[in-house]
Protein backbone atom coordinates (compact mmCIF):
# COMPACT_ATOMS: atom_id res chain seq x y z
CA UNK A 1 0.00 0.00 0.00
CA UNK A 2 1.32 3.45 -0.90
CA UNK A 3 2.35 5.75 1.94
CA UNK A 4 -0.17 8.39 0.87
CA UNK A 5 -3.02 5.87 1.03
CA UNK A 6 -1.87 4.65 4.44
CA UNK A 7 -1.63 8.22 5.71
CA UNK A 8 -5.12 9.02 4.48
CA UNK A 9 -6.51 5.92 6.18
CA UNK A 10 -4.84 6.81 9.48
CA UNK A 11 -6.15 10.36 9.20
CA UNK A 12 -9.72 9.19 8.57
CA UNK A 13 -9.43 6.76 11.47
CA UNK A 14 -8.37 9.66 13.67
CA UNK A 15 -11.42 11.63 12.63
CA UNK A 16 -13.68 8.69 13.43
CA UNK A 17 -12.19 8.39 16.91
CA UNK A 18 -12.57 12.13 17.50
CA UNK A 19 -16.24 11.94 16.51
CA UNK A 20 -16.61 8.96 18.87
CA UNK A 21 -15.10 11.07 21.69
CA UNK A 22 -12.02 8.90 22.03
CA UNK A 23 -9.19 11.46 21.78
CA UNK A 24 -6.47 9.02 22.90
CA UNK A 25 -7.08 6.67 19.97
CA UNK A 26 -7.58 9.66 17.68
CA UNK A 27 -4.20 11.05 18.66
CA UNK A 28 -2.48 7.74 18.01
CA UNK A 29 -3.99 7.59 14.52
CA UNK A 30 -3.10 11.19 13.71
CA UNK A 31 0.48 10.56 14.83
CA UNK A 32 0.71 7.66 12.39
CA UNK A 33 -0.62 9.84 9.57
CA UNK A 34 1.70 12.69 10.54
CA UNK A 35 4.79 10.46 10.39
CA UNK A 36 3.85 9.22 6.93
CA UNK A 37 3.15 12.70 5.56
CA UNK A 38 6.51 13.90 6.89
CA UNK A 39 8.26 11.11 5.00
CA UNK A 40 6.40 11.98 1.80
CA UNK A 41 7.29 15.66 2.12
CA UNK A 42 10.92 14.78 2.86
CA UNK A 43 10.85 12.89 -0.45
CA UNK A 44 9.98 16.20 -2.16
CA UNK A 45 6.27 15.39 -2.49
CA UNK A 46 5.30 18.86 -1.35
CA UNK A 47 1.69 18.43 -2.43
CA UNK A 48 1.14 16.70 0.93
CA UNK A 49 1.89 19.82 2.99
CA UNK A 50 -1.82 20.69 3.35
CA UNK A 51 -2.48 17.12 4.50
CA UNK A 52 0.25 17.42 7.12
CA UNK A 53 -1.19 20.73 8.31
CA UNK A 54 -4.67 19.22 8.60
CA UNK A 55 -3.28 16.24 10.50
CA UNK A 56 -1.39 18.52 12.89
CA UNK A 57 -4.51 20.59 13.50
CA UNK A 58 -6.65 17.57 14.27
CA UNK A 59 -3.92 16.09 16.42
CA UNK A 60 -3.96 19.35 18.32
CA UNK A 61 -7.71 19.01 18.79
CA UNK A 62 -7.23 15.52 20.26
CA UNK A 63 -4.50 16.80 22.59
CA UNK A 64 -6.71 19.66 23.73
CA UNK A 65 -9.47 17.20 24.62
CA UNK A 66 -6.85 15.34 26.65
CA UNK A 67 -6.00 18.60 28.49
CA UNK A 68 -2.51 18.63 26.96
CA UNK A 69 -2.80 22.21 25.78
CA UNK A 70 0.91 23.01 25.49
CA UNK A 71 1.40 20.11 23.11
CA UNK A 72 -1.75 21.08 21.21
CA UNK A 73 -0.48 24.63 20.84
CA UNK A 74 2.81 23.42 19.33
CA UNK A 75 0.91 21.43 16.68
CA UNK A 76 -1.39 24.34 15.88
CA UNK A 77 1.58 26.67 15.51
CA UNK A 78 3.30 24.30 13.07
CA UNK A 79 0.07 24.00 11.06
CA UNK A 80 -0.18 27.80 11.02
CA UNK A 81 3.32 28.03 9.58
CA UNK A 82 2.47 25.56 6.82
CA UNK A 83 -0.76 27.32 5.83
CA UNK A 84 0.97 30.72 5.80
CA UNK A 85 3.69 29.38 3.53
CA UNK A 86 1.09 27.91 1.17
CA UNK A 87 -0.85 31.17 1.03
CA UNK A 88 2.34 33.14 0.30
CA UNK A 89 2.98 30.64 -2.51
CA UNK A 90 -0.32 31.73 -4.12
CA UNK A 91 -2.62 29.10 -2.65
CA UNK A 92 -5.30 31.35 -1.09
CA UNK A 93 -7.74 28.46 -0.71
CA UNK A 94 -6.01 27.69 2.59
CA UNK A 95 -7.05 30.97 4.24
CA UNK A 96 -10.07 29.46 5.99
CA UNK A 97 -7.99 26.59 7.36
CA UNK A 98 -5.41 29.09 8.61
CA UNK A 99 -8.11 31.06 10.39
CA UNK A 100 -9.59 27.93 11.98
CA UNK A 101 -6.18 26.88 13.29
CA UNK A 102 -5.64 30.37 14.70
CA UNK A 103 -8.92 30.07 16.61
CA UNK A 104 -7.78 26.70 17.93
CA UNK A 105 -4.52 28.33 19.01
CA UNK A 106 -6.58 30.91 20.87
CA UNK A 107 -8.55 28.18 22.64
CA UNK A 108 -5.34 26.48 23.78
CA UNK A 109 -3.87 29.78 24.94
CA UNK A 110 -7.03 30.56 26.89
CA UNK A 111 -6.76 27.22 28.67
CA UNK A 112 -3.15 28.10 29.47
CA UNK A 113 -4.33 31.41 31.00
CA UNK A 114 -2.72 33.51 28.28
CA UNK A 115 -5.71 35.67 27.21
CA UNK A 116 -3.67 38.49 25.67
CA UNK A 117 -2.11 36.09 23.16
CA UNK A 118 -5.48 34.42 22.60
CA UNK A 119 -6.97 37.80 21.75
CA UNK A 120 -4.38 38.42 19.01
CA UNK A 121 -5.19 35.05 17.40
CA UNK A 122 -8.94 35.66 17.51
CA UNK A 123 -8.63 39.04 15.84
CA UNK A 124 -6.34 37.60 13.18
CA UNK A 125 -8.87 34.85 12.43
CA UNK A 126 -11.81 37.26 12.41
CA UNK A 127 -10.10 39.41 9.75
CA UNK A 128 -9.73 36.39 7.49
CA UNK A 129 -13.33 35.25 8.01
CA UNK A 130 -14.60 38.78 7.26
CA UNK A 131 -12.58 38.86 4.05
CA UNK A 132 -13.97 35.49 2.96
CA UNK A 133 -17.54 36.57 3.75
CA UNK A 134 -16.91 39.78 1.81
CA UNK A 135 -15.99 37.59 -1.16
CA UNK A 136 -19.38 35.91 -0.95
CA UNK A 137 -18.51 32.89 1.19
CA UNK A 138 -21.46 33.34 3.52
CA UNK A 139 -20.98 29.86 4.97
CA UNK A 140 -18.12 31.46 6.91
CA UNK A 141 -20.50 33.41 9.15
CA UNK A 142 -20.54 30.75 11.92
CA UNK A 143 -16.72 30.76 11.79
CA UNK A 144 -16.71 34.53 12.28
CA UNK A 145 -19.20 34.16 15.13
CA UNK A 146 -16.91 31.66 16.85
CA UNK A 147 -13.84 33.86 16.47
CA UNK A 148 -15.67 36.93 17.76
CA UNK A 149 -17.08 34.96 20.71
CA UNK A 150 -13.60 33.88 21.72
CA UNK A 151 -12.38 37.45 21.24
CA UNK A 152 -15.07 38.67 23.62
CA UNK A 153 -14.21 36.02 26.20
CA UNK A 154 -10.51 36.96 26.02
CA UNK A 155 -11.41 40.62 26.52
CA UNK A 156 -13.54 39.74 29.55
CA UNK A 157 -10.61 37.75 30.95
CA UNK A 158 -8.52 40.89 30.50
CA UNK A 159 -11.16 42.92 32.40
CA UNK A 160 -12.17 44.85 29.28
CA UNK A 161 -15.96 44.25 29.17
CA UNK A 162 -16.71 47.47 27.27
CA UNK A 163 -14.70 46.08 24.34
CA UNK A 164 -16.11 42.57 24.76
CA UNK A 165 -19.73 43.70 24.54
CA UNK A 166 -19.64 44.71 20.83
CA UNK A 167 -18.15 41.30 20.03
CA UNK A 168 -21.06 39.50 21.65
CA UNK A 169 -23.58 41.89 20.08
CA UNK A 170 -22.22 41.13 16.62
CA UNK A 171 -22.31 37.41 17.30
CA UNK A 172 -25.91 37.67 18.50
CA UNK A 173 -26.86 39.32 15.21
CA UNK A 174 -25.06 36.64 13.18
CA UNK A 175 -26.85 33.81 14.96
CA UNK A 176 -30.21 35.57 14.71
CA UNK A 177 -29.69 36.00 10.97
CA UNK A 178 -28.83 32.30 10.65
CA UNK A 179 -31.90 31.30 12.64
CA UNK A 180 -33.97 33.55 10.39
CA UNK A 181 -32.65 31.50 7.46
CA UNK A 182 -34.04 28.29 8.98
CA UNK A 183 -30.81 27.05 10.55
CA UNK A 184 -32.13 26.08 14.01
CA UNK A 185 -28.90 24.29 14.96
CA UNK A 186 -27.55 27.69 16.03
CA UNK A 187 -30.19 28.25 18.72
CA UNK A 188 -27.93 26.94 21.55
CA UNK A 189 -25.09 29.14 20.28
CA UNK A 190 -27.36 32.17 20.41
CA UNK A 191 -28.37 31.33 23.98
CA UNK A 192 -24.72 31.03 25.07
CA UNK A 193 -23.87 34.30 23.36
CA UNK A 194 -26.71 36.09 25.13
CA UNK A 195 -25.34 34.76 28.41
CA UNK A 196 -21.89 36.16 27.62
CA UNK A 197 -23.52 39.44 26.62
CA UNK A 198 -25.39 39.56 29.92
CA UNK A 199 -22.22 38.88 31.91
CA UNK A 200 -20.44 41.73 30.13
CA UNK A 201 -23.33 44.08 30.87
CA UNK A 202 -23.23 43.09 34.54
CA UNK A 203 -19.51 43.79 34.62
CA UNK A 204 -20.33 47.24 33.24
CA UNK A 205 -22.87 47.81 36.03
CA UNK A 206 -25.75 47.66 33.56
CA UNK A 207 -27.69 44.70 35.03
CA UNK A 208 -31.10 45.94 33.88
CA UNK A 209 -29.99 45.59 30.25
CA UNK A 210 -28.79 42.06 30.95
CA UNK A 211 -32.31 40.86 31.78
Residue 168, pLDDT > 70, answer yes
The values of phi and psi at residue 178, to 5°, are -65, -40
CA-to-CA distance for 68 and 143, rounded, in angstroms?
24
pLDDT for residue 7 is more than 90:
yes
What is the structure's pLDDT at 63?
98
Q: What is the pLDDT, as a whole number, of residue 134?
A: 96
Q: For residue range 105-119, list pLDDT tens digits in order.
A: 999 999 999 999 999
| Per-residue pLDDT, 1 | 63
Contact 112, 97 (CB under 8 A): no
Mean pLDDT across the stretch 69-79? 98
Query: CA torsion 140→104→190→137, rounded to 10°?
Result: 0
Mean residue pLDDT of the chain comes to: 96
Compute the distance between CA of residue 75 and CA of residue 209 in angstroms, rounded to an integer.
41
**What pLDDT is stored for residue 105 in this prediction?**
98
At 195-210, the pLDDT tens digits run 999 999 998 988 887 7
Distance of alpha carbon 111 from alpha carbon 95, whole angstroms? 25
- Residues 6 or more apart whose Cβ sits within 8 Å of residue 120: none
In whole angstroms, what separates CA 179 from the centre of its chain? 22
User: CA nearest 60: which of 44, 49, 71?
Assistant: 71
Indicate whether 32 pLDDT > 80.
yes
Give 93-102 pLDDT, tens digit per residue: 999 999 999 9
Amino acid sequence: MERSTQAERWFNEGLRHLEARDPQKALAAFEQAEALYRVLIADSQLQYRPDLAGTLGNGGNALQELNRCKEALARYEEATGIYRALIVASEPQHRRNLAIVRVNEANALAELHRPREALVRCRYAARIFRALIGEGQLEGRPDLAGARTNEGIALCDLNRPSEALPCFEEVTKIYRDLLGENQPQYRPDLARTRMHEGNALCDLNRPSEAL
